[in-house]
Amino acid sequence: MRAQIFVFALSIVICAKAQAELKWEQTTIELHPTPADKQAIGHFKYQNTGDKSVHFKSVRTSCGCTAAQTQKDEVPPGDKGEITATFNIGDRTGTQVKTVTVETDDPASTTSVLTLKAVIPQQLAITPTFVFWQQGEAPNRKTIGVSAAKDFPVKHLKVASSSPDFEAKVSEAGNGQFKISVQPKDTKQPIAATLTIQPEGSPKTFYATARVTTAPAINSR
């Protein structure tokens, strides 16, 4: 019984030693892009610590929004390199976790999963981003709440409606809190408008939508 356990443990140790050929400096990278950044780029550095060359068979990403590139297909013994993962931020917000799956011909460690975590600052929390009225409903005002992040002080906010059919007014509640009051001129026919929300001094623009729908509303605000 002891011999069996010893053999089992030894096999684990041997496997662990063999897996160390392509050694990653880190397999998880956390990035904090600025609001102006369009991409977040992570550099996953590695070294071949084994005594034979390692070849990359495939590099796959978990999302179409992320691209990964190897510098070379073959990594000779002792050689260093990196895999560059480029995450296109687009209109994403909050914490984004994307993975890069790397397959090599190293039989002891064929697959490595690299994790790119991007914490995208959410400058403004807008709730809700959509207000609507049922056709024929009383054209009462509805409110959109806007809250600025602590590290993104906003003193003033400008709001513009893309259509004269909707009126939008901003009121400041202090501490980076605002209320946008939206009202349609009437609800006789389906109409829509995009509300452009512009914090003072920020290059970034935010949006909300207002609409009079044709069908009965199931949730009123």
Partner 1 sequence: MKSALVCQTLVLAALALVPGIGEALYFHDKISWRSSIPASEMVSVEQARAWGDSAIWVDARPDEDFAHDHVPGAFSLNEDRWNALLPQFLAAWSPSKKVVVYCSSLNCNASREVARRLRDEAQLKNVFVLEGGWEEWLKKK
Question: Which parts of this chain interact with partner 1 (CB under 8 A)?
Answer: 1, 4-5, 8-9, 28, 62-65, 88, 90-92, 95, 97-99, 115, 117, 126-130, 132, 134, 192, 194, 207, 209, 211, 213-219, 221
Whether omega before 76 lies within 30 degrees of 0, making that bond cis, reads no
CB of residue 103 vs partner 1: minimum separation in angstroms? 16
Query: Is the Cβ of residue 53 or residue 213 nearer to partner 1 in the bound state?
Result: 213
- What is the smallest separation between the CB atom of 22 and partner 1, expressed in angstroms? 20
First to last CA, the chain: 70
CB of 52 to partner 1, least distance (A): 26
Question: What SS3 string covers the chain?
Answer: CHHHHHHHHHHHHHHHHHHCCEEECCCEEEECCCCCCCEEEEEEEEEECCCCCEEEEEEEECCCCEEEEECCCEECCCCEEEEEEEEECCCCCEEEEEEEEEEECCCCCCEEEEEEEEEECCCEEEECCEEEEECCCCCCCEEEEEEECCCCCCCCEEEEECCCCEEEEEEEEECCEEEEEEEECCCCCCEEEEEEEEECCCCCCEEEEEEEECCCCCCCC
CB of 58 to partner 1, least distance (A): 16
Measured from the CB atom, is 149 or 192 closer to partner 1?
192
Distance of closest approach, residue 172 Cβ to partner 1, in angstroms? 22
Alpha carbons 77 and 116: distance in angstroms, whole number: 26
Residue 42 burial by Cβ neighbours in a 10 Å radius (0-12, 13-18, 19+): buried
**Closer to partner 1 by Cβ: residue 155 or 221:** 221
CB of 207 to partner 1, least distance (A): 5
> Which of 174/216 has CB closer to partner 1?
216
Q: Kindly state the smallest distance separating residue 118's Cβ from partner 1, in Å.
A: 11
Cβ closest to partner 1, residue 6 vs residue 77: 6
Give whichever of 8 and 164 is closer to partner 1, judged by the CB atom: 8
Nearer to partner 1, 4 or 175 (CB): 4
